[in-house]
Amino acid sequence: MEFAKLFELIIAASLINNFVFTRFLGLCIFFGVSRKMETAVGMSITFTSVMMISSALSWIVFNYIMVPLDITFLKIIIFIGIVAGFVQASDTVMRKVSPGLYYKLGIYLALISTNCIILAVPLINAGEHYSFIESIVFALGSGIGFAIALIIMASIREKLELADVPKPFRGTPIAFIVTGLIALAFTGFSGLIKL
């Protein structure tokens, strides 16, 4: 396995094809959680770990069960089931094993199970025929990309609270405008890697 290719995969997933700013997925969580820096950081940690584990699980199920049986058309249903089952199980275990972590991150876990980025990553892994390591690295890259987006947005929105925004734009509208501007800026990454 060449490390250069894996590094390219991380860069491509986190910056060039950033899930929030170029693919515009997962916006509900993005706007809901980016109001404060603390929740943004907690969400991105939970998000990245859940995404890596669930993409590994769904890679195993996809390549060892669904491809030999020739039932790959079921991948959307199965991936939703895998993600939801894993999130529910980890929610139950975390509540017992470490209640402190549960009260910090438990609210995000319920939100994550229906997120579209979490579903998109296994689907892209299956579509691009990534290997096991590549799919985990791709999930890590997309998690980093989501974390970057959340942290940028949270820091801007904390400043926006103090800014003199015209009355009709206060709250969510100005957040959408700012997101559009950052998305324009992220198009500058598009020539970073030549494939």
Q: Which residues bind other proteins (CB under 8 A)?
A: 61, 65-66, 69-75, 77-78, 81, 85, 88-89, 92-93, 95-97, 99
Nearer to other proteins, 3 or 73 (CB): 73
Nearer to other proteins, 99 or 173 (CB): 99
Q: Taking a C-beta distance cutoff of 8 angstroms, is the pair 75, 108 a contact?
A: no
Nearer to other proteins, 94 or 149 (CB): 94
Smallest gap, in angstroms, from Cβ of residue 23 to other proteins? 21
Nearer to other proteins, 67 or 178 (CB): 67
176 SS3 class? helix
Smallest gap, in angstroms, from Cβ of residue 104 to other proteins? 16
Pull the structure tokens for residue 177.
């405008």
Q: d(Cα 145, Cα 163) in Å, to the nearest integer?
A: 27
Pull the structure tokens for residue 87.
């999130």
Smallest gap, in angstroms, from Cβ of residue 68 to other proteins? 10
Smallest gap, in angstroms, from Cβ of residue 95 to other proteins? 6
Nearer to other proteins, 107 or 174 (CB): 107
Q: Which of 12, 35, 14, 43 is nearest to 148 (CA)?
A: 14
What single-letter amino acid sits at 132? Answer: F
98 SS3 class? coil
Q: Which of 152, 147, 43, 19 is nearest to 160 (CA)?
A: 152
Q: Which of 132, 154, 145 is nearest to 15 (CA)?
A: 145
Smallest gap, in angstroms, from Cβ of residue 42 to other proteins? 21
Burial class of residue 11, CB neighbours in 10 A (0-12, 13-18, 19+): middle
Smallest gap, in angstroms, from Cβ of residue 138 to other proteins? 19
Nearer to other proteins, 81 or 171 (CB): 81
